Structures are given as C-alpha cells and as structure tokens.
C-alpha cells in the first residue's frame, strides 16, 4: 500500500521508465526551490536574480534547472501556494565534462561553470556578478562550503541536500550577510508525518502536467534491463562514480 500523499499520477506522455526517473528528484528539486529557498517569492526588483546549482547534471540538478528556468512559473499549484514571479531566474549550473556541460545547457541552464575550479572568479568572468541570490548545493557540501559563503548574496540563501562529513562554520561572513542556510531532505514530510504531506502529491501532479504539456523533459538517460543483481551492481557502480548525467532506471524481470 502506498500513501496517496507522497505519490502523484504518472505523466501520460512518458514511458514507465521515463516516469520512474522523475518523482524522487522532482520532489527534492521542487522543495529546495520553493519550500526552502523560496525562489518563487522574489520581489519585483529582483527580476534579475541568479541561482547557482552545484552539480547541475545529476538527477536532482537536471530537474532543478528545468523548474528554476521556466516551468514552475507557469504552474497553477505554485501560484496557488504563494505569489510567483512572472519570469524565470538566471540559472548558473556547474558541470566539469563536455557531455555534462552540454546536458546542463539542454536542461535550460543560462551559464555553466566548472565545479572543480574556483567558482567565484568564473562567475565574475562569465556572468559578470559578484554574488548569487540563491545557491543550491547538490554535491560535496564540505568541499563547496567556503566558496558558497563567499558567493551568496547579502540576505541570500543557500540550500544543500547533501549532509556534511564534518561540522562547517556558519558564522563569519554568513552572519555578516544575514544569509540563510537551509537543509532539504525529501523524506522529512513522511518521516515526521507533517500536516502538509499532501503537498508532495500536489507537486508531483503539477509536474506531471508540465511534462504532458512539454514544459519539462524526463531526465532519464539510461535503462538497464532486466532487473537483476548484476544490473543493480552496474547501476550502483555508475552512481558511485560521481559522473552520472540525469537518471538510470531498471526495467523488466
């Protein structure tokens, strides 16, 4: 039995494999952008806002770029939840290989910088800005923490979905900037049975509508078949390599 509050309808236009790639990452990306960072609650003077998405080509990054860039602004559920901005935000994604850079651009990123090089100087050079209003960290929070502290705008917000391996210093420049640091875990609502659990059902249905109206693409890049121990190991090795683009699905017995 599955709790209706944490599932949504399968998009009609997707195969089962394409659909299977979506819910976990979509829920995560949606919650980071709208529930944690509040990118939809930008003021009108903030039309030129920027979000840095660290790890843009992974599963969560691929849907986060698409949502941030354009799709969710057209979603009725988002506007019913809060006042939403008309225009998409400028998306700076990070990727380090030709194929992952290309993928981020296909997902809609305006700029792509390399997460293995200094982010602040690249962003200054490529985008021409000193600070980003929002930062979404999808990989190596420890490794990126210092540059996120420097890069986040005064009164800006950082959200991470990857727990740190060691304690990090949230004082100093973050305090001076009155910056927000917020975690996201897509299991929080179900783990603590929060009264707003049904939000996940609504957001998944909203994204199914966006997919069926061609505003969001499935992030599936590979299907392994059949579902057996060997293919599970193969899929895990790929994930552990840290070079995943989009999502893998396993299919058929």
Ligand X SMILES: NC(=O)c1ccc[n+]([C@@H]2O[C@H](COP(=O)([O-])OP(=O)(O)OC[C@H]3O[C@@H](n4cnc5c(N)ncnc54)[C@H](OP(=O)(O)O)[C@@H]3O)[C@@H](O)[C@H]2O)c1
Q: Which residues bind ligand X (CB under 6 A)?
A: 24, 28, 54-55, 57-61, 94-97, 100, 115, 138-140, 143, 161-162, 184-186, 239, 242-245
Cβ closest to ligand X, residue 52 vs residue 71:
52
Supply the minimum distance, in Å, between the C-beta of residue 100 and ligand X: 3
Cβ closest to ligand X, residue 41 vs residue 97:
97
Cβ closest to ligand X, residue 140 vs residue 212:
140
Supply the minimum distance, in Å, between the C-beta of residue 168 and ligand X: 15
Residues in Cβ contact with 33 at an 8 Å cutoff, skipping those fewer than 6 apart: 39, 40, 51, 64, 67, 68, 72, 136
Cβ closest to ligand X, residue 102 vs residue 212:
102
What is the distance in angstroms between the CA of the first residue and the CA of the last residue of the chain?
21
Supply the minimum distance, in Å, between the C-beta of residue 68 and ligand X: 14
Cβ closest to ligand X, residue 77 vs residue 186:
186
What is the β-pairing status of strands 180-183 and 50-54? unpaired
Quickly count: other Cβ atoms within 10 Å of residue 75's Cβ: 23
Quickly count: other Cβ atoms within 10 Å of residue 213's Cβ: 12
- Determine which helix (DSSP H) or strand (DSSP E) holds 189, and give its type and residue range: helix 188-191
Phi–psi pair at 152, nearest 5 degrees: -65, 140
Supply the minimum distance, in Å, between the C-beta of residue 178 and ligand X: 25
What are 134's two structure tokens? 């929002």
Nearest residue (beta carbon) to ligand X: 58
Supply the minimum distance, in Å, between the C-beta of residue 128 and ligand X: 22
């Amino acid at each position: 039995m599955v709790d209706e509050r944490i599932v949504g309808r399968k998009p009609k236009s997707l195969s089962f494999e394409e659909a299977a790639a979506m819910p976990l990452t979509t829920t995560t990306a949606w919650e980071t952008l709208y529930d944690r960072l509040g990118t939809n609650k930008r003021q009108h003077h903030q039309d030129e806002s920027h979000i840095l998405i660290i790890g843009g080509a992974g599963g969560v990054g691929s849907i986060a770029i698409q949502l941030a860039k354009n799709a969710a602004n057209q979603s009725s559920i988002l506007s019913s939840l809060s006042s939403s901005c008309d225009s998409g935000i400028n998306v700076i994604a990070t990727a380090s290989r030709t194929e992952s850079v290309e993928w981020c651009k296909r997902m809609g990123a305006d700029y792509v910088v390399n997460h293995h090089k200094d982010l602040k100087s690249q962003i200054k050079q490529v985008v021409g800005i000193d600070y980003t209003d929002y930062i979404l960290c999808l990989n190596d929070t420890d490794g990126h923490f210092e540059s996120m502290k420097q890069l986040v705008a005064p009164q800006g917000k950082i959200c991470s979905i990857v727990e740190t391996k060691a304690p990090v210093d949230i004082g100093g420049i973050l305090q001076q900037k009155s910056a927000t640091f917020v975690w996201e875990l897509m299991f929080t609502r179900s783990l603590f049975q929060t009264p707003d659990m049904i939000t996940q059902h609504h957001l998944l249905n909203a994204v199914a509508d966006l997919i069926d109206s061609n505003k969001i693409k499935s992030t599936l890049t590979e299907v392994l078949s059949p579902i057996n121990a060997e293919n599970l190991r193969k899929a895990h090795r790929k994930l552990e390599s840290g070079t995943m683009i989009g999502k893998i699905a396993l299919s058929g017995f």
